[in-house]
Amino acid sequence: MRTTRSATEKKPARTRKPALHPDIREVLYTQEEIAAKVKTMAAQISRDYAGKEVILVCVLKGAAVFLADLMRQLTVPCIVDYVNWSSYGTSTSSSGVFRILQDLEESVESRHVLIVEDIIDTGLTLHYLLRHIRGRNPASVKVAALLDKPSKRKIEVHTDYCGFKVPDEFVVGYGLDYDQKYRNLPFVGVLRPEIYAGSDTPPDKP
Ligand code: IMP
């Protein structure tokens, strides 16, 4: 007996994307949706920087996956550098006081810098990083962030290239972690609150 759907038969409506990991409540952006978005962002960045060399400054650890995919789609010459800033406070929200675990190795003076971030949440990391880089007299500084969570902003920051605006949820996957886990998930999804309930380091919830 044939079980395939006839051409006229409609697919049942699906309101939610399937959860592909037991700790994930909902998948917000699939691997395919992220790949398409990164491609669009890279095309825009390549157009804007045509004829220039850009230094990509990746904010560790979360932005590493985004950087790896983004840079391979760029058609302009680029150099990669990494910074790792640790915020005092909980492991999942910025207090605004940072410890620099790894600083820039490259000189950014008179060069074009593109900061590559995983998610802009309170905006504090980006605010202080921009100040840090601008103090070194670059030719220009722009920001590419895969995700933006505007509802949690504590300080106004401008993002030049933004992938997706996310709701006020704690998300993991595609480089983003909770307690250093879930970075390897190929999609971005909402972590089940049971996973961090009772933990010493719960995400900063709404
Ligand atoms: P900020 O609050 O904008 O300073 O963001 C600081 C960092 O917190 C980001 O670069 C992420 O690594 C992390 N972060 C913020 N929101 C989330 C989230 O929903 N999931 C995972 N990490 C997050």
| Structural domains in the chain, sorted by start | 31-166 (3.40.50.2020)
Q: How far, in Å, from the CA of 6 to the mean position of ligand 1? A: 46
- Rounded average pLDDT over 101-106: 94
DSSP secondary structure, 64-79, as one string: HHHHHHHHTT--S-EE
Residue 6: the pLDDT is 53
Q: What is the mean pLDDT of the chain?
A: 89
Residue 90: the pLDDT is 56
Q: Which two tokens stand for residue 167?
A: 């709701």
Q: Is the CB of 125 under 6 A from ligand 1?
A: yes
Task: Report the range of poorest mean pLDDT among 4-8, 53-57, 70-74, 126-130.
Answer: 4-8
Residue to mutate, 99, 118, 149, 154, ligand 1, most ligand atoms under 8 Å from C-beta: 118
The residue ranking higher by pLDDT, 136 or 5, is 136
Amino acid at 189: G
Q: Has residue 139 got a pLDDT over 60?
A: yes
Q: Which two tokens stand for residue 184?
A: 């390897």
Q: Among residues of the chain, what percentage have pLDDT more than 90? A: 77
Show contacts of 102-110: CB within 8 Å, 24+ apart: 102/60, 104/57, 104/133, 104/136, 105/81, 106/55, 106/79, 106/81, 107/136, 108/55, 108/57, 108/133, 108/136, 108/137, 108/138, 109/136, 109/137, 109/138, 110/137, 110/138, 110/139
Q: Among residues of the chain, what percentage have pLDDT more than 70? A: 83
Q: Is the CB of 176 under 6 A from ligand 1?
A: yes
Q: Has residue 1 got a pLDDT over 50?
A: no
Atom of ligand 1 nearest to the CA of 204: 16
At which residue do the structure tokens 């699939």 appear?
30
Q: Are 110 and 103 in contact (CB under 8 A)?
A: no
Q: Are 111 and 136 in contact (CB under 8 A)?
A: no
Whether the CA torsion 192, 61, 152, 197 is positive or negative: it is positive
Active site residue 121: yes
Residue 205: the pLDDT is 46
Q: Which of 48, 69, 103, 121 is catalytic?
A: 121
| Helix (H), strand (E) at residue 56 | strand 54-59
Residue 89: the pLDDT is 58
The string over 94-108, giving b where at least 16 C-beta atoms fall within 10 Å of a residue's C-beta and e elsewhere, is bebebeeeeebeeeb
Q: How far, in Å, from the CA of 130 to the mean position of ligand 1? A: 16
